[in-house]
Amino acid sequence: MDDLTLTGLAAAIADRKLSAVEATAGCLDRIARLDGRLRAFITLDAEGALARARALDADLAAGRRRGPLHGVPLAYKDLCHVRGLPTSCGTKTAEYFTSEIECTAVARLTAAGAVTLGKLNMTELALGPFGDNPHHGNVDNPWKPGHVAGGSSSGSGAAVAAGLAYGALGSDTGGSIRLPAACCGIVGIKPTYGRVSRAGVMPLSWSLDHLGPMTRTVRDAALMLEIVAGHDPHDATSSPRPVDALVAGLERGPAGLRVALPDNYYFDGVTPEVRTAVETAAGVLASRGARVQILRLPDPALLNDVANILARSESATIHARVARERPHELGAAVRSRLEVGFHISAHDYLQAGRLRARLAREFVAEVFAETDAVLAPAIPEPPPALDAVTAGPVDEIVRRMGRFSRLTRPFNVLGLPVVALPCGIGADGRPLGVQIVGRPFDESTILRLAHAYEEATDWHTRRP
């Protein structure tokens, strides 16, 4: 059972080869054995999960299958409001965030038959790429003890990689789905801005936040995204555009698709093994019929500057009360990042928003006239040692955060769909990750490419 993917488990339960109770008990057993080191969970609802699994087994015995995830155990980043469970957002306050409605994405997964195991650890207030947390413990990398699990959806990445859950939800404001996916050797997709509702989710930056699935395989991610995507009247930013048949579209293959490797910025300063792994991935896609080309992208450094102004201003506004009234409750780096936002002028914020709109239009028109997808590293190096990147003065820690997330952050400003997936294992056993970027609302194409790469390689089958 430990080797089953989400879709494989769903099929096994539907065929009565396994029960929802057996699947849930298996996850709870792994959590009991492994999470003392990994610290992936903040809140575990073992009794609730088993009760839900028993009810689902009874439904199936009576001929009622709730949906494509019937009996599949999932877990959610602890900024998603789940009915009956606290939402700490990684802070020391158990009920830091409350909502009148349950997270829409969670509700849709539950309606599709999923079992909720609990809430997953995260960087405090989602403000950091490394997975450290002073209140709930640092999430440990399942592949390499003492190393970065990625953030801020660190618990989501570790839980899926270690088989504690068959899938998870993460959020991504500057890379927080893709960084832990790359660090933990799994798949994570940041959908197009507006593709997935953020209702019932603690915001960090309302103009940059994205919610998306984290899974072991591309097919699993496509299935979860099909379920959670679509318009939601509770979220005014959610798009009414119809959602493609993402799972069925995987089989169309990459033949004829144009894939670009950027010749500027994205390979600057990356380690040789990361460069080699990503270039090898491009070669794999070429061998499957994709047309790989080199392309110069508009200056991503300017996008990162815009991202910093927007994210810092909005996060400071959202978390002003705790930052001003209870700053002693926050970690030093988180407190420092919030305080910067208080000093950004309204003029600079509004100008950044206007520039963002123009840059996004220009990027889509210029780049996607030449290509169907962009292939680039997700992380500039294999997951570093956590002690090394969290040591020293706060200013230096914040600079390291910026350097580690600089390859993912531009695509939040652009609002483009991006899937991250494993593309290698470093010489000392640390995962390497690649990201594939597509046109707005064209998740289907990037998932097709990612699935084709996955079918031609075995990185997704390896377990820590």
User: Where in the sequence numbering do the catalytic residues fall?
Assistant: 77, 152, 176
The b-or-e profile of 436-458 (16+ CB within 10 A means b, else e) is bbbbbbbbbbbbbbbbbbbbebe
Residue 261 CA: distances (Å) to CA of 118, 192, 406: 39, 21, 17
SS3 41: strand
Say if residues 155 and 161 touch (Cβ distance below 8 Å). no
Q: What is the dihedral of CA 342, 347, 348, 350, to 10 degrees?
A: 100
Report d(CA 128, CA 133) in Å as an integer: 9
Report d(CA 68, CA 117) in Å as an integer: 18
CB neighbours (10 Å) of residue 299? 13
SS3 259: strand
SS3 182: helix
Structure tokens of 30?
A: 């792994």
Instruction: Look up tokens 């706060």; give the residue.
Output: 394
- What are the strands, taking DSSP E only, across 180-274? 187-190, 210-215, 258-262
Strands 115-120 and 41-44: antiparallel
How are strands ordered across the β-sheet holding 258-262? Answer: 41-44, 115-120, 73-77, 167-172, 210-215, 187-190, 418-425, 431-437, 373-377, 258-262, 291-295
Instruction: Look up tokens 């040692």; give the residue.
Output: 385
**What residues have CB less than 8 Å from 3, skipping those under 6 apart?**
463
The DSSP result for 157-179, as a single string, is HHHHHTTS-SEEEEEESSSTTHH
Report d(CA 170, CA 188) in Å as an integer: 8
Tell which phi-psi region holds residue 261, choosing left (phi > 0), alpha (psi between -120 and 50) or beta.
Answer: beta
